[in-house]
Amino acid sequence: MERVELLTVERTFWLSRNSVQMLILSPDFSVPPGWKDRGWNQRTETVAVLRPDGKELEATAQINMTHLNIPDPRFTGSRWRITVWLTDRTEEEIPVGSKVLVSPEVRNAILDKNEK
């Protein structure tokens, strides 16, 4: 399957609560118009992760429309973002600088086709 780059990991955040564990990846993305209407408010995708050391791993990614609770009334950005997290990998396995590769269909649903 052809895969293209969705993001280069800038930061990670490990979240573990009760039986839920996830590695949240940064950056996140703006929500493109019509994203939710096209059935993309939550997706599970198999992705490839290319680490800076050249090792490639498969991972299970949740791609979700997420509401950020930003109480500052002066905030003018969007409180809705598209976030990506991995459900089966740890911070040690996915270092900063890793590239997350997805199908062109997934990338085009999240990003403008001309963005890189």
Total count of domains within the chain: 1
The CATH code of the domain that includes 15 is 2.40.30
> pTM for this one?
0.83
pLDDT attached to residue 71:
77
Q: Answer whether residue 59 is part of any domain.
A: yes
pLDDT along the chain (116 residues), means of 10: 94 86 90 72 91 97 82 75 93 97 90 56
Q: Answer whether residue 115 is part of any domain.
A: no
Which DSSP string corresponds to the chain? Answer: ---EEEEE--EEEEEEETTEEEEEEEEEEEPPTTTGGGT-SEEEEEEEEE-TTS-EEEEEEEEEEEE-----TT--S-SEEEEEEESS--TTTS-TT-EEEE-HHHHHHHS-TT--
Q: Answer whether residue 116 is part of any domain.
A: no
- Quote the domain boundaries for residue 55: 4-110
